[in-house]
Amino acid sequence: MPNVLITGANRGLGLALAEHFASRHDTCVIATTRDASTASDLHAAARRCDDRIEVIAVDVASATSIAALAEALASRDIMLDVLVNNAGTASWTSFGEIDEVTSAEIMRVNALGPVLVTQALAGRVRDGGKIVNISSTLGSIERATSSWGLVYSMSKAALNMFSKILSNELRDRQIAVLALHPGWVRTRMGGDEAPLEIAQSVAGMMTVIDGLTLATSGQFLTYEGAPLPW
């Protein structure tokens, strides 16, 4: 039975991805959230999916928490077919308004978090598996125009670099790696002005993830499968 692990699955895109994977009756999902006690929507989704979603508390900004996750998987000999690094945070401040504390948290969660999670779990990803890093078009250096959301954009550019390097690191194991832009989606992070509904974004992302192969590893794609410039 395929196993999928999704970080930041308590709401929005992560929650929808967890439900979509778990709707496949042959798939089990490990859904992580920083605080499992408040993830009521995620627990409800697990019940709807006949408990094919397992909720685990993980703070991707904490090396100790990540190590505990890796140990838990190893103790149960769980191997992953797909790892989705989705957990993220944002601030939309511009140059001249940047503060150290908020910026450090964004970089820890969005850029360093996926590195540490993947590093800890790489041995638990099956040869021939997939690793998907949820990125953003704001991480495209070529498309950069204004400093709006500057630190968030920097964090996603760093995540893109990691995705490209990781695709080379894991190619010998035939693990495909992708940086995936979900579109501007109407979530708590995306805001009410976003043009995309969660369902539209996730349906597209599922198609792209399903189609990911070693031949397309190391790319930066939209939820529609279109290439984005680095």
* Per-residue confidence (pLDDT) for residue 86, from 0 to 100: 98
Question: In angstroms, rounded to a whole number, what is the distance separating the alpha carbons of residues 179 and 161?
Answer: 9
Phi, psi (deg, nearest 5) at residue 49: -95, 25
* Per-residue confidence (pLDDT) for residue 1, from 0 to 100: 73
* Per-residue confidence (pLDDT) for residue 90, from 0 to 100: 93
* Per-residue confidence (pLDDT) for residue 173, from 0 to 100: 98
- Minimal CA–CA distance to 15: which of 63, 48, 60, 62? 48
* Per-residue confidence (pLDDT) for residue 177, from 0 to 100: 98
Distances (CA, A) of 115 to 62, 63, 110, 168, 230: 12, 11, 9, 14, 19
- Within 10 A of 138 (CB to CB), how many other CB atoms are there? 19
* Per-residue confidence (pLDDT) for residue 75, from 0 to 100: 98
Run of H or E residues at 18: helix 12-22
| pLDDT tens digit sequence for 12-46 | 999 999 999 999 989 999 999 999 999 999 999 99
Residues 44 and 117 sit within 8 Å (Cβ to Cβ) = no
* Residue predicted with more confidence, 224 or 194: 224
Confidence tier at 194 by pLDDT (50, 70, 90) = low
